[in-house]
Chains A and B, each alone.
Chain A
Amino acid sequence: MLKFLIDKDTWQEVFDSFNKNKLRSILTMVGVWWGILLLIGLLGSAKGLENSFKKLFGDFATNSVFVWGNKTNIPFKGFQKGRRVRLTLTNALKVEEHIPGVAFVVPRNQRQVNIERKLSSEFFSIAGDMPLLNKVQKIKLKTGRFINQGDMQEKRKVVVISEDIYKQLFEVKAKAVGEYLQIDGVTFKVIGVFKEPDENLGPSIDAHMPFSTFQQVFNQGDVIGWITITGQPTADIKQVEADAKLLLKNLTKIHPDDKRAFGSFNLGDNYAKLTGFLKGMQFLTWFVGIATLIAGVFAIGNILLITVKERTKEIGVRRALGATPYEIKRQIVVEAVFLTVVAGLLGIISGGWILIVINHFYGQGAEAKIVNPSVSITVVFVALVILVILGTLIGLIPAFKATKIKPIEALREE
């Protein structure tokens, strides 16, 4: 069989019969071409969407939930409703300690401050953060470093500023790290400049200072603004959220059924919904693509069947000249596979072009909704293997039909 496949004559026969019916052969291939084109185009676009989500969430630990305090809505243990709920560092640490499945809890404080340098001053939002923040939300530093444990312990007056602050308060190309700023009248040393993320989940922060420094400078005491709870990779983040809220309600004397006392945004849950949607889309794509492919391959089988009917005489002559039924069958199957594979390859190539076009129009810039739409070599390979298998199976039908033709009937003079 291998010898047959690398034999020049085999392909000569295939090309001859292709050339004989050029238009029909090309029309036949359109179905398979279209199926593969759809498959590659849709899968690539789905991948592009997935990539854009990944880019959006890429800097976050997605298995996280943000929790903050609101007002109570149900009277409890002598307290009226409408009481202001405050998160405290003590309670946050208890969440980290007692709730199963929690990797770490990052407490955060935030406020609007006036930042001043030389003669310019602006209002910015600043956060008091733990070094751990970098694990939840990757901080992309342009220069310098992020807050470390030493800063925390010694409550150093240091600050990491955004590129935006840098542009507004510093001269062009001036060095920022090591310079000093006035934050609400207190002098801070710049230790790093970070790049704002393309997408912000939660409030946008212009500058970070050590959590402990924030507590001291703004006289915050134990009270904190909000916490980010990051679950372990295997943890059910919805369960973690429920458990954490219940513990916090217990600690702050809030009715267990009070749904509004703590606000939260479950990133993990939302992310899971998005990826689920993507999975569904990919499944749909495969389904549509393969269904179209099957239809296309059937079209090829159908045309070959007609061709066999038309070539009855030719097949009869070949039989009379000594072609065995196996040789006739083999020839027709090879023709079927050849048509499917060539159509498939063309489909893969034009699918690739479509992805290039999509990338050109929708995949550029930071706001792009489709990022690097592409398909893996594995997908292409799987598609080709499916084509070869389908082509062979469908080729067998006209092949058996052809060998049913008795040479004598084929050669009968009309």
Chain B
Amino acid sequence: MLKINALHKSYAIGESSLHVLKGIDLSVETGEMVAIMGSSGSGKSTLLNIIGMLDVADSGDYILDGLPIEALTEKKAAVYRNKFLGFIFQSFNLINYKNALENVALPLYYQGLNRKKRQELALFHLEKVGLTNWSGHLPKELSGGQKQRVAIARALAANPKLLLADEPTGALDTKTSHEIMAFIQQLNDEGKTILMVTHEEDIAGMCKRIVRLRDGVIIEDKKVNQVRASQYV
């Protein structure tokens, strides 16, 4: 599904440069659920951004679903993001003047689907996250958990191969976090490949594999016994 080889990335900070990723090798198979852990500054977010084609590596290979990702034009990157990737953010990043349904339909709009089809698909995915009755509500009228579920529905809408989640529970209380995690696990059970960045051990423990980063290198990569979030709900 995903193969990364000797990935390097540095940022220029004034005169000097900061070497954030120092040769990352990672491969993820279809159906995996991987947590990328590390303290702040370990490079985990940068890695996720590169995987999400929001950022470009300085050197190294990145192959997504058999497709080498390199030297993409902005346009090509946009098309790939739309087709292959679904994003879930810590602060949800819903568009605040669009209601739940419109938010979910947005990636479909950029896919060029017609209105009717978009409505249909968006409703289907809202139903999947259990928010059919909230489809006409604006983000400000929803609770944090509901917002994140709308965001998940949006990430799923374009039927991506890979779900990327950046601290998906970072802005939620424990109970809601567990609800969201239960839902993400369910998606994984249905076969979705999921990659998430987190710094919370219990959240990472709900994945099937934990990759630990420190100072730009992988210090640990292990399979774990998944803790089911549903038992806390």
Contact = CB atoms under 8 A, between A and B. Distances in A.
Contacts of B97: 16-17, 19-20
Interface in B72-88: 74-75, 78-79, 81-83, 87
Nearest to B107: A321
Interface stretch (A70-78, A287-295, A299-307, A311-319): A311-319
Contact of B82 (A8, A322, A325, A406): A322
Given A19-B97, A20-B97, A314-B95, A325 B74 contact: yes
B45 to A, nearest CB: 8
A245 to B, nearest CB: 79
B52 interface: yes
What does DSSP make chain A's interface, helix, strand, loop or mixed?
helix
A403 B95 CA distance: 18
B89 A411 contact: yes
B93 interface: yes
A408 B110 contact: no
Interface residues of B, number: 30
A85 B154 CA distance: 101
A16 B102 CA distance: 11
Given A323-B110, A407-B54, A317 B81 contact: no
A321 B115 contact: no
Contacts of A322: 78-79, 81-83, 107, 110-111, 158
B211 interface: no
Contacts of A408: 49, 54-55
| Centre residue among A17, A318, A324 by max chain B CB count within 10 A | A324
A26 to B, nearest CB: 17
B146 to A, nearest CB: 18
Contact of B81 (A8, A313, A314, A321): A321
Given A9-B109, A411-B93, A16 B98 contact: yes
A411 B54 contact: yes
A323 B95 contact: no
B159 interface: no
Contacts of A318: 95, 106, 110
Contacts of A321: 81-82, 87, 106-107, 110, 154, 158
A268 B158 CA distance: 77
A327 interface: yes
A198 interface: no
Contact of B93 (A16, A317, A324, A325): A317
A316 B167 CA distance: 18
A314 B52 CA distance: 17
Nearest to B46: A408
Interface in A140-197: none
A133 B82 CA distance: 84
A324 B82 CA distance: 10
A324 B74 contact: yes
B91 interface: yes
Nearest to A412: B45
A320 interface: yes
A326 B75 contact: yes
Nearest to B111: A322
A317 B104 CA distance: 12
Nearest to A319: B78
B90 interface: yes
Given A322-B79, A324-B78, A413 B90 contact: yes
Contacts of A324: 74-75, 78-79, 110
Contacts of B154: 321
Contacts of A323: 78, 110
| Centre residue among A8, A17, A19, A318 by max chain B CB count within 10 A | A318
Interface string A306-350: 000000011011111111111100000000000000000000000
Contacts of A407: 54
B75 A325 contact: yes
Interface string B191-231: 00000000000000000000000000000000000000000
B99 to A, nearest CB: 10
Contact of B91 (A20, A326, A327, A413): A413
A17 B49 CA distance: 28
A224 B98 CA distance: 88
A19 B95 CA distance: 14
Given A322-B79, A323-B110, A327-B110, 8 more contacts: A9-B115, A318-B106, A320-B81, A323-B78, A324-B79, A325-B78, A413-B90, A413-B166
- In the A-B complex, the 6 residue pairs with the closest CB atoms: A322-B82, A322-B110, A408-B54, A324-B78, A20-B97, A321-B107
15 contacts: A17-B97, A316-B93, A317-B93, A317-B95, A321-B82, A321-B110, A322-B110, A322-B158, A324-B75, A326-B75, A407-B54, A411-B54, A411-B89, A413-B91, A413-B167
